[in-house]
Amino acid sequence: MSNPIRSTSRRDFLKVTGTLSLAAGIAASLAACGGGTTKKKASGATGDTSKANKDGAIVAGISYELGTNGYDPATTSSALTIAANWHTLEGLTELDPADRTVYNALAKETPKKVDDTTWEVTLRDGAKFSDGAAVTVEDVIFSYTRVLDPELKSLYRSMIGFIDKVEKKDDKTVTFKLKQAFSLVPERLSIVKIVPKAAVEKDAKTFDLNPIGSGPYKMTDNGSASQKVVFERNENYNGPRPALAKTMTWQILPDPATRTNALTSSTVQAIDSVPAADLANLKAPNKVSTVQGFGLLFAMFNQNGKFKDVKARQAIMYAMDYNKICDNGMAKLATPATCFVHKAHADYKQAKVVYKYDAAKAKSLLSEAGVTEIKVLASNHDWFSSVRAILKENFEALGVKISYDEKKSSDVYSTIDGDPNAYDVLIAPGDPSVFGNDADLLMRWWYSTDVWTDKRMHWKGADSYTQVQEKLDAALKLTGNDQKKAWGEIFDLLSEQVPLYPIFHRKTPTAYNGETLVNFRPIAITGLSFENVGSTK
């Protein structure tokens, strides 16, 4: 979540930030998302939608629960809320949810490069928010200014850090002044969703609970009380991808058996995060698809204490039985990481260090680092429940005292954000490719944002941290193969230092009703997308 992608691809992404995506088995597996420069495409989505009932209803089952933060697009990082915002809000540009190509959304036409550090964007004629207010240049400037404001502490600030100023050229055109030349401007503009300045300034808390946007749908129930998120068609929408259904309801179903039963009983028309055991059992009219993407499970290390020693971090990476984890724990829907990005990514290069199961080496490194006790904390999301049992067994075989705990994702981060000594090793899912898929963005999500590097890893200020920042900034000034080579050098450094590192990249399984959903496309990023999707019901 976001992301320029060079080659079109589909879905190993959306379970939601961990993040899961759609459909596997009956439909063939789709190509993986690429990286690098996103191809441009026409704003209109493709596919035959003639069978969609214009007064129809879409009903889906979502695995992720509501996060502790709300829906404000400048601050939310929850998989469910991000996916909801795809349908109710717009950026100047957007990335197609399935093939990740960039298209014009609130922008009337492709962003115009005036010179190396100046870009202009003209707003779509007649664009309105769901409350009927016109979308203005002032709203655009306000939306970017909020994200760039250090006081807001937006996780997205680092993704658009190349922007110096956002200025009004005229009543329809915004000028972006850059700090330096940057080749991925059209893609990165999709990260910031445009919000109404007046509504946010009037009551930011109310906006956070139910944002007003210019997207094809508007939210009528945010799920906080009902355990379902409800949308209606935004009648003020005049963009290229209108809602093809009158209503849409997302039932929040964190229990995997309940989700699968909801699909097979036709209570819902699509579910994310299909349990591996059910992939081969779902029958027509239901379809299943697994799509390879960047989505991963990672190990993160608290460098506030004994894991400041890189040997301790490397020990944990060698302690994991990757083949057993991927083949048994993930039912072969995952591949051991050989780089920060997955093999199908356009910027992939095998990293200098590729971790393989070596318990003896892990024990030796722990001994050298003087580690005799480890606090392991894991997210308890169901899609990698079998993996956790294997990891727990691997860690307990290290011959040191292991304290192991599992919590909901929201509780995991509130715990470690509130106590710098709450953990030594964190095991959790992640998928910033919901925002974009270029190597710079994916790395900056974890390795440049203070929330992660300072508050969580306690890595900020280390020599390796400084090296990564310098190398990332230098790579931004490059293009083509030179840029790819520079990113490869950072992959090597990360593989050695492992402040946070992938255990595996996975395919995302999604299931859907092939008869009642029209033009549904599995995606490789966390969440479900119903953009340009209709219903016969």
Model pLDDT for residues 323-332, shown as the tens digit of each residue:
999 999 999 9
* Rounded mean pLDDT, 274-284: 86
Decide: 127 and 214 in contact? Cβ < 8 Å.
yes
Residues in the chain: 537
Which residues lie below 8 Å from residue 327, measured CB to CB, with a gap of 6+? none
Q: What is the pLDDT of residue 35?
A: 35
* pLDDT at position 533 over 70: yes
* pLDDT at position 314 over 90: yes
Angstrom distance (rounded) from CA 173 to CA 123: 6
Q: How far is CA 275 from CA 63, 258, 261, 509, in A?
A: 11, 11, 11, 8
Average pLDDT along the chain: 90
% of the chain exceeding 90 in pLDDT: 77
* Rounded mean pLDDT, 145-170: 94
* pLDDT at position 246 over 50: yes
Q: What is the pLDDT of residue 41?
A: 53
Say if strands 112-115 and 373-379 run parallel, antiparallel, or are unpaired.
unpaired
Q: What is the pLDDT of residue 33?
A: 33
Looking at per-residue pLDDT, the higher value among 464 and 293 belongs to: 464
Q: What is the pLDDT of residue 497?
A: 98
* pLDDT at position 452 over 50: yes
pLDDT band at 69 (very low <50, low <70, confident <90, very high): confident
Phi/psi zone of residue 306: left (φ > 0), alpha (ψ -120 to 50 degrees), beta? alpha
Which pTM was predicted? 0.81
Instruction: Sketch out the chain's domains with CATH numbers.
Output: 57-285+514-535 (3.40.190.10), 295-507 (3.10.105.10)
Residue 138 has a CB neighbour count (10 Å cut-off) of 14
Q: What is the pLDDT of residue 19?
A: 31
Angstrom distance (rounded) from CA 148 to CA 132: 27
Q: What is the pLDDT of residue 199?
A: 97
Strand partners, 219: 231
Decide: 374 and 425 in contact? Cβ < 8 Å.
yes
Angstrom distance (rounded) from CA 92 to CA 108: 8
Q: Which helix (H) or strand (E) holds 404?
A: strand 401-407
Amino acid at 50: S
Model pLDDT for residues 342-359, shown as the tens digit of each residue:
999 989 999 999 999 999
Model pLDDT for residues 227-241, shown as the tens digit of each residue:
999 999 999 999 999
**Segment 255-259 long-range contacts (CB within 8 Å, at least 24 positions apart):** 255/382, 256/63, 256/382, 256/383, 258/61, 259/61, 259/63
